[in-house]
Structure 1
Amino acid sequence: MKVVLAGTGSAVGKTTISTGIMKALQDENVQPFKVGPDFIDPSYHTIATGNVSRNLDSFFMDEFQIINSFERAMKISKSNMGIIEGVRGLYEGISPISDIGNTASIAKALDAPVVLLMDSRSLVKSAAAVVLGFKALDPDVRIEGVILNKVKGPRHFKKAKESVEKLANVPVIGGIPRNDEIAVEERHLGLVPALEKEKINRNIELWGNIAEEYIDLDALKDIMKTSDKSALKDNKNKAIDSLEDDNNYGHRVDLSIHEDEFNREHNEAINLEVTNGSKPGELWKTGNKTPIKIGVAIDEIFTFYYKETLESLEENGAKIVPFSPCKDDEIPDVDALYIGGGYPEVFKKELSENESMLKSINKFHMEDRPIYGECGGLIYLSESIDGLGMVNAIPYSAEMTPRVQGLNYVVARSNRDNLISEEGDIFRAHEFHYTKLNIDSTEDLAFDVLRGRGVLDSMDGVSVRNTLANYIHIHACSCPNFAYNFTKNIAELD
């Protein structure tokens, strides 16, 4: 059983409705998923269901990886019900033509029915036109239900429901009344992370109650049952055949139809094959058996980690040892550090005041021990943020800005051997940050950014001693050699 909850666009209530449905069906052992690279929505899903939410992304993953990731997650949680929250509008991706990076690509790969979530404010007959348009654009996407959000009242809901069901021939299985109190608070990187908000449990409880009251959950489960296991198996076999025929673990997409001088280089980068040393049937490269310990910064500040990335490290001999840069006095006894993304710019005062931790990490760095940082980890490892001292492993200051400095899917190529990749390796990632690093030289930058922005002059990956830190976030499937290379280098440096 599975379903994709997709929006007609952004800000139509996907997060509240999807999380509410997950909460309402919590007793069914729901396995949640999020389309796209987002870290924050999955944190709500995890709280609502008790199962770790996973990302499915057709820019990060080829079709085989999408199917394998889905099946793997369902097996780990022993779930028979997968609920997938979409990203933006159903068809929004990185291209106005192709499906790469959009919700529709996930629905088609998994042969999952789609329930369309729509902001129905001031819509009655036009609601049917919207649904008809979404159905007609791609007949391979199975839109099996509609949920109307922000209905004015019972009369409005009845009329809009009748319109959609009679004119678009799609059942309406719910109508959520307008209620500003159920909106999710936002921050500069998107929705406020669950770990930072004490009232989030109460909010999720509220969203679950609303889902139970206003959505026909039995009808939703009937839609989930329309998933065809044989079709999913066929898709998987086709994906495997494609990999074997083309020896291509990357992605191919024809964007020439809308190519111009401005985006030609980015389009060409999308068609570069990701370096992948994994065996057919594997999501990422494995093979390291040397036991190592990696200290991973996990607390209320540093929360942005893909579960698969941590699991890929564990499958290469690593034991994950959590620690808090904010609350602990020093790092644990480990062989390497991994400091992921989060909000160090928001908690810069607290981090700066924990001098013993800063000294502990700096000492680790000066001893040439391996450290890897992403985005917020890069900022924490820098000299300072807005004048407040940080670790100073990366000898450049950082500052918060009022505007987005990087918001892209990324294609990068290593220009030298480094902690996580070899020279010439190509991988995919994403970037989203408001901070900037005050760096004026590309000498220490290990990655050429072929699509995206990076730290400076389309480059990223500040490499100093055995510390590597970058703005880009890597998923184990978008950089299949990441865990193997990282753990191998840790073992060799030990």
Structure 2
Amino acid sequence: MRLVLAGTGSAVGKTTIATGIMRALSDRGIQPFKVGPDYIDPSYHTMATGNVSRNLDSFFMTDAQIREAFTRAMKISGARMGIIEGVRGLYEGISATGDTGSTASVAKALKAPVVLIINSRSLVKSAAAMVLGFRSLDPEVKIRGVILNQVKNRRHYLKTKEAIEKLTGTEVVGGIPRSAELEVEQRHLGLVPAVEREQIASYIEKWGSAMEEYLDLEALEDIMASAGKIDGEREPLWRRENKRKVKIGVAFDEAFNFYYRENIEALEDNAASVVYFSPLHDEELPDVDAVYIGGGYPEVFAGELESNRSMRISVRKFHADGRPIFGECGGLMYLMNSIDGHKMCGVFPYSAEMTKNVQGLSYVISEAVSDNLITEEGDVFRGHEFHYSRVSVTGDAQFAFRVLRGRGIMDSMDGITSGSALASYVHIHAASCPTFAANFTRNAWELQDEV
């Protein structure tokens, strides 16, 4: 059983509605998913269901890998139903007419029915026209239902429902009224991550209650049940090559929590024991062979990170001892000398600063120009970048990646290196860089032997 919850565009209430549905059905067994490169929405899904939300992305993955990722996640969680929140509008991808990167591409790879979410403010018959347009654009995409959001009142809902059902033959499974109580705090990269706010749980409970009140959940289950079996080839997500045991320290707290779960599992599949630590709260690094510092909001917690001097010294000493460190985006910033004047680890002798405008927002294709912690020279891999910061690099900096699509740190280069440290603005998914875990764990034990 599976379902894609897609929007006619951005800001139609997808995350509120999808998370609310997940919460409302959570006792029946839900495995959540999110289309596209996103860490924040999945944190809400995870809190709503108790199962780790997974990302599905046709830029990062082949259709066969999408099927593998979906099936694998369902098996791990043991859930009955897979609910997939889309990204932007149903058909939005990286090109004007193609499928890559779109919600539609994921729905087609999984042969999953779609429920379309419409912001119905000031719409009645025009909502039916929207449904007809979305249904006719690609007959392979099976739109089986509609959810109306921003409904003014009961009368508005019934009129719009009548228009859609009579003129398009598509079932309307409910309508969500306009309500400030259903809104939640936002930040420059989107919603505030669930890990940061205890009150997020109360929002999710409200969303779940609203979906129970205003949607026909049994109708949604019927739509999910209509999906049938997933057929087609499946393809492994990453390489499993390293068998020598290593310990990888992974930074995880309010400042650093942007990780794809598959990245952690790929490390574990390559004989890694993952040890979590907090750059904010712990005094020093744990006893590990390598360190992975993912993305997040270090700029928001720059004062606290600066105050934890013992941790910063520990990271700097780990680097001086020749141990491998891999940093992504927020991790890159933390490894610099400073963020907006606040002292950081100083692994790299440069400063990071926040800007008012987005500095990188793109799917990325990179080529390794030299062997490094996660790739080998000539490897081409994919990822994404989304940041409002920049790093002021001077002198003879060494870079491991040439950016073929995207921006990078400077001059279409990324993956800055210093000894056994590698830091980059590009976020990778284990499926988009299948050598990541095998190479990182191999380098962890090889460099361990040299220390």
* TM-score normalized with structure 1 length: 0.90
Gaps of 5+ in 1: 241-280
Report what 1:226 is aligned to: 226
In structure 2, what is the equivalent of residue 316 of structure 1?
270
- 2:346 is aligned to 392
- Flag the 1:318–1:135 CA change in 2: closer, same or farther, 3 A: same
The aligned counterpart of 1:277 is none
- In structure 2, the residue matched to 1:125 is 125
Aligned alpha-carbon RMSD (Å): 0.8
**Aligned match of 2:325:** 371
User: Match of 1:463?
Assistant: 417
Displacement of 1:29: 1.1
Residues 168, 308 of structure 1: alpha-carbon distance in 2 compared, 3 angstrom cutoff = same
Instruction: Indicate if the aligned counterparts of 2:45 and 2:52 stay in contact, CA closer than 8 A.
Output: yes
* Whole-angstrom distance in 1 between the partners of 2:148 and 2:71: 30
Question: What residue in structure 2 maps to residue 110 of structure 1?
Answer: 110
Structure 1 residue aligned with 2:184: 184
Q: Judge conservation of contact 2:329–2:427 (CA < 8 Å) in 1.
A: yes
d(CA) in 1 for partners of 2:275, 2:196: 22
Q: Which amino acid aligns with 2:131?
A: V
Checking the alignment, whether the CA contact within 8 Å between 1:442 and 1:459 is kept in structure 2 is no
Within-5 A mapping of 1:65-144 = 65-144=65-144
Q: 2:157 maps to what in 1? A: 157
The SS at the match of 1:32 is: strand
Return the offset for 1:441.
Answer: 5.0
Residue aligning to 1:491: 445
> 2:250 matched to which residue of 1?
296
Structure 2 CA distance, aligned partners of 1:147 and 1:441?
55
1:214–1:401 CA distance, 2 compared to 1 (3 A): same
Question: Whole-Å Cα distance in 2 between the matches of residues 476 and 308 of structure 1?
Answer: 6
| Equivalence for 2:360 | 406
Please give the alpha-carbon distance, in whole angstroms, between the structure 2 residues aligned to 1:99 and 1:180.
35
The Cα of 1:403 is off from its aligned counterpart by: 0.7
CA contact (8 A) 1:442 1:456 kept: no
CA–CA distance in structure 1, aligned partners of residues 397 and 307 of structure 2: 31
Where does residue 281 of structure 2 map in the other structure? 327
Deviations 1:81-125 (A, max 9, x none): 000000000001111110000000000000000000000000000
Q: In the aligned structure 2, how far is the partner of 1:295 from the partner of 1:115?
A: 41
- Further displaced range: 177-186 or 116-125: 177-186
| Alpha-carbon distance, 1:181 to partner | 2.1
Look up the match of 1:361. Answer: 315
**1:344-377 per-position Cα deviation (integer Å, ceiling 9, x unaligned):** 0000000001000000000000111000000000
State how far apart, in whole Å, the 2-side matches of 1:198 and 1:73 are: 26
One-letter code aligned to 1:322: Y
- The aligned residue for residue 236 of structure 2 is 282
Cα distance between partner residues in 1 of 2:134 and 2:314: 55
Aligned counterparts of 1:355 and 1:468: Cα–Cα separation in 2? 22
Which amino acid in structure 1 is aligned with residue 434 of structure 2? P
For residues 216 and 37 of structure 1, what CA distance do their matches in structure 2 show?
A: 30
Structure 1, residues 454-477: CA drift from partner, whole Å, max 9, x if none? 000011001000000001101000
Q: Indicate the residue corresponding to 1:23 in structure 2.
A: 23
1:443 CA drift (Å):
3.7
DSSP-derived class of the 1:382 partner: coil
Partner of 1:486, secondary structure, is: helix
Counterpart contact for 2:350–2:394, Cα < 8 Å: no
For 1:487, what is the secondary structure of its paired residue? helix
Partner Cα distance (1:228, 1:327) in 2 = 48
Aligned twin of 2:194: 194
Aligned residue-pair number: 448
2:147 match: 147
Q: Sequence identity, in percent?
A: 63
Shift of 1:184: 2.6
Residue 183 of structure 1 deviates from its aligned partner by 1.6
1:245 aligns with none
128 and 442 in structure 1: CA distance in 2 versus 1, 3 angstrom threshold: farther
C-alpha separation in 1, matches of 2:196 and 2:310: 24
- Report the Cα distance in structure 2 between the residues aligned to 1:5 and 1:441, rounded to whole angstroms: 49
Q: 4+ runs of 1 displaced by more than 2 Å?
A: 440-443
Counterpart for residue 304 of structure 2 = 350
Amino acid at match of 2:393: I
Query: Equivalents in 2 of 1:74, 1:41: separation in Å?
Result: 19
User: 2: distance between equivalents of 1:87 and 1:441?
Assistant: 40
**C-alpha distance in structure 2 between counterparts of 1:362 and 1:81, whole Å:** 46
* Shift of residue 80, structure 1, vs aligned partner: 1.6
State the TM-score, normalizing by the size of structure 2: 0.98
Alignment of 1:408-427 (within 5 A): 408-427=362-381
* 1:479 corresponding residue in structure 2: 433
SS at match of 2:249: strand
Give the Cα–Cα distance (whole angstroms) in 1 for the partners of residues 355 and 4 of structure 2: 36
Q: Does 1:340 align with 2:313?
A: no
Q: CA deviation at 1:228?
A: 1.8
1-structure distance, mates of 2:386, 2:198: 25
The separation in 2 between residues aligned to 1:227 and 1:200, in whole angstroms, is: 32
- SS at structure 2 position matched to 1:211: helix
2:396 & 2:186 partners in 1: Cα distance? Answer: 34
Q: Distance in 2 between matches of 1:180 and 1:120?
A: 16
Aligned to 2:41: 41
User: How far 1:168 sits from its partner (Å)?
Assistant: 1.1
Structure 2 unpaired stretches of 5+: none
The one-letter amino acid paired with 2:9 is G
